[in-house]
Chains A and B, each alone.
Chain A
């Protein structure tokens, strides 16, 4: 018990606690200053194609395609402030893009944190991209 008391009374411990407190305060201050932070995470699967024999045909809605790949994309606001839909830059609209010689066959929203945010995907002029739009994105959603 005496050793514990000596340890607690040490001056370097007070300085260390003070330093840690300053670091925590600064970190919390920085965290509170964060605005909206659009973030994306994704993974994918090859559904069909690749090593198939040449006499095997892949049809998507009756149309021949070279391969079929599925990507799952999660889009959310990692920041601490709401991102309003009006902040989307129309000349550089958020979009998902695949390679120049590839085509997006379908894109659909399968899950949202809340329906009211109006998260949606839409077509663009290019066959290899689809647009992303929302009415607003809540922080952490």
Chain B
């Protein structure tokens, strides 16, 4: 992380220049991750919750069965879905390395 003091009216600086074998150049990303990354995170979270919720829906539409395993009941599946979301939140994509966070 570089701290730059300058006299420009703009709050940001331009980063220019070339690195061999990288024709795409230096790409700029939003400092706080931006809405796209947040959107991606929620999409993944909902995706992670879908399979157990789908199973709950299917099971609730079927007749109750005494040989149904405990983990296939709505309670444990809901806890599992919450745990999945918490895990994804722990490993969600950050715009730049954690070591450089404030």
B58 within 8 A of A: yes
CB B19 to nearest CB in A, in angstroms, measures: 5
Contacting pair B12 A89 (CB below 8 A): no
Q: Which of A46, A66, A72, A104 counts the most B-chain CB atoms under 10 A from its CB?
A: A72
A residues whose Cβ falls under 8 Å from a Cβ of B: 1-4, 7, 35-47, 60, 65-76, 78, 83, 87-89, 92-99, 102-113, 121, 128, 130, 132, 140-141
Residues of A within 8 A of B61 (CB): 3
Q: How far is A106 from B7 in the complex, measured between Cα atoms in Å? A: 10
Contacting pair B9 A1 (CB below 8 A): no
Contacting pair B28 A71 (CB below 8 A): no
Q: Is the interface of B mostly helix, strand, loop or mixed?
A: loop
Contacting pair B55 A4 (CB below 8 A): yes
Kindly report which residue of chain A lies nearest to residue B30, judged by CB atoms.
Answer: A41
Q: Is the interface of A mostly helix, strand, loop or mixed?
A: strand
Sampled A-B contacts (30; CB under 8 Å):
A2-B63, A4-B55, A37-B24, A38-B19, A38-B25, A38-B26, A39-B27, A41-B29, A42-B15, A42-B28, A42-B31, A44-B10, A44-B11, A44-B13, A69-B5, A71-B4, A73-B2, A74-B1, A76-B96, A94-B19, A95-B16, A95-B17, A97-B15, A97-B16, A98-B13, A99-B8, A102-B6, A106-B4, A106-B5, A107-B5
Kindly report which residue of chain B lies nearest to residue A120, judged by CB atoms.
Answer: B2
Q: How far is A140 from B97 in the complex, measured between Cα atoms in Å? A: 7
Residues of A within 8 A of B5 (CB): 47, 60, 68-70, 104-107
Contacting pair A130 B4 (CB below 8 A): yes
Give the size range of B's interface with the partner: 35 or more
Contacting pair A39 B16 (CB below 8 A): no
Contacting pair B3 A108 (CB below 8 A): yes
Kindly report which residue of chain B lies nearest to residue A5, judged by CB atoms.
Answer: B62
Contacting pair B22 A36 (CB below 8 A): yes
Residues of B within 8 A of A107 (CB): 2-5
